[in-house]
C-alpha cells in the first residue's frame, strides 16, 4: 500500500508495475487508481503532472506494441531505426552534447588515486540520483534508492580517490538532461573508466536517438562485431552513467524490454517518458 510519504515517482512506478503485471486484463483508469488507493481524479492529475500525458497514453507508450512501432519506423530495418538521427526543435537529441574522455592507463590501474571526486544527490523524475564528477567531467550517475549503497558502488569503481560531498557546475550541467530546453547548453563531458571495448559500446549507445530503441545485436553490428552481442550486453550492463548514456534504450531482440541495472520498472518509465517528449505529448 502506498503511503502519504511516497514520492510521485514511487506512486507512478507502482502504477506501472500494476499495469505490467495485469497487462492481459487491460485495466482501466479506475482499476489502476483503486489499486494505488487513490481516486480516479487524483490519480489522473498526479500521473499527468508527472509524465505530461494521461495514464492511458503513457501506458500505451511503455507497451511492447509501442516498442515494435518504434523499431519498424516506416519499414526501416532495426539497425536504421535504432541509429537514425536528425530530430530537431523540442526533440533535439541531448546525445549530441555528450563527449566521452577515457581515463589514462595510470588512472585506470590505480583506482583513481590521483583523482578528487565531487558527489551529490539530486531528485529526478525517476527517483533520487547520485552524480559524481572529476575536474574533467562526469564520472558516475546512478539512481540511488539507497544512498549509502550507491556511494559504496561508486567507491568500488574508484577505491583510491579522494571524495567530497559537494555540487559543482559539471553536475548541474549534466542534470539538465531532465529539462526540455537545451538551446543554451554547453557540451557535457564524461570522464570514464572503462576498457576500449566498453568505451566504444557506450559511445554507440549515445547514437540511439531519444524515443528510439536498439537491440544488443544492432549495436554489435554497428561496431562491426556481429557475433559480439553477449559482450555488448556485458558492456551495456556496466554502463556507469545512468540515463545520460542511454542504456535504457537497449532491448532484447525479441522486443521484450529486458532487465535494467536500476530496475525494469524505471526502464519502462524512461522509455515512455522519452517517447512522450518526442511525440509532442510532454
Indicate if 139 belongs to the active site. Answer: no
Q: Map grid coordinates 562526469 to a residue.
A: 138
- Mode of pairing for the β-strands spanning 250-251 and 214-215: parallel
Q: Which of 41, 46, 44, 40 is nearest to 4 (CA)?
A: 46
CA 175 to chain centre: 12
- For strands 188-192 and 98-102, give the pairing: parallel
Helix, strand, coil tally for the chain in percent (to 5): 50, 15, 40
Residue partners of 137: CB distance under 8 A and separation at least 6: 99, 101, 170, 188, 189, 190, 191
Of residues 150, 146, 132, 155, the one with CA closest to residue 244? 132
Cα gap 274→178, rounded to integer Å: 10
The span from the CA of 209 to the CA of 249, in Å, is 9
CB 258 within 8 A of CB 250: yes
Annotated catalytic residue, options 213, 247, 257, 268: 247
How many CA atoms, within 13 angstroms, populate the side-chain half-sphere of residue 55? 26
3-state secondary structure of 142: strand
- Among all chains, which residue has been given the C-alpha cell 505530461? 52
**Residue 239 backbone dihedrals phi, psi, to 5 degrees:** -55, 120
Active site residues: 247
Amino acid at each position: 500500500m502506498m503511503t502519504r510519504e511516497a514520492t510521485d515517482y514511487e506512486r507512478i512506478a507502482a502504477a506501472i508495475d500494476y499495469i505490467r503485471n495485469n497487462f492481459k486484463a487491460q485495466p482501466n483508469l479506475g482499476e489502476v487508481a483503486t489499486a494505488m488507493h487513490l481516486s480516479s481524479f487524483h490519480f489522473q492529475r498526479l500521473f499527468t503532472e508527472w509524465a505530461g500525458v494521461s495514464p492511458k497514453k503513457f501506458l500505451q507508450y511503455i507497451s511492447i506494441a509501442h516498442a515494435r512501432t518504434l523499431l519498424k519506423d516506416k519499414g526501416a530495418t532495426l539497425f536504421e531505426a535504432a541509429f537514425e538521427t536528425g530530430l530537431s526543435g523540442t526533440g533535439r537529441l541531448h546525445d549530441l552534447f555528450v563527449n566521452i574522455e577515457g581515463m589514462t592507463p595510470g588512472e585506470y590501474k590505480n583506482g583513481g588515486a590521483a583523482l578528487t571526486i565531487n558527489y551529490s544527490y539530486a531528485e529526478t523524475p525517476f527517483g533520487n540520483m547520485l552524480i559524481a564528477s572529476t575536474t574533467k567531467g562526469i564520472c558516475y550517475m546512478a539512481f540511488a534508492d539507497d544512498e549509502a549503497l550507491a556511494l559504496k558502488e561508486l567507491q568500488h569503481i574508484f577505491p583510491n580517490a579522494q571524495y567530497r560531498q559537494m555540487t559543482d557546475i559539471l553536475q548541474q550541467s549534466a542534470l539538465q538532461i531532465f529539462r526540455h530546453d537545451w538551446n543554451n547548453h554547453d557540451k557535457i563531458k564524461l570522464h570514464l573508466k572503462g576498457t576500449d571495448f566498453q568505451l566504444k559500446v557506450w559511445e554507440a549507445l549515445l547514437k540511439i536517438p531519444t524515443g528510439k530503441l536498439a537491440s544488443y545485436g544492432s549495436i554489435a553490428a554497428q561496431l562491426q562485431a556481429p557475433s559480439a552481442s553477449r559482450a555488448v550486453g556485458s558492456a551495456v550492463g556496466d554502463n556507469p552513467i545512468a540515463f545520460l548514456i542511454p542504456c535504457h534504450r537497449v532491448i532484447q531482440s525479441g522486443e521484450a524490454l529486458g532487465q535494467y541495472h536500476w530496475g525494469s520498472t524505471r526502464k519502462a518509465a524512461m522509455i515512455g517518458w522519452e517517447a512522450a517528449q518526442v511525440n509532442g505529448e510532454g
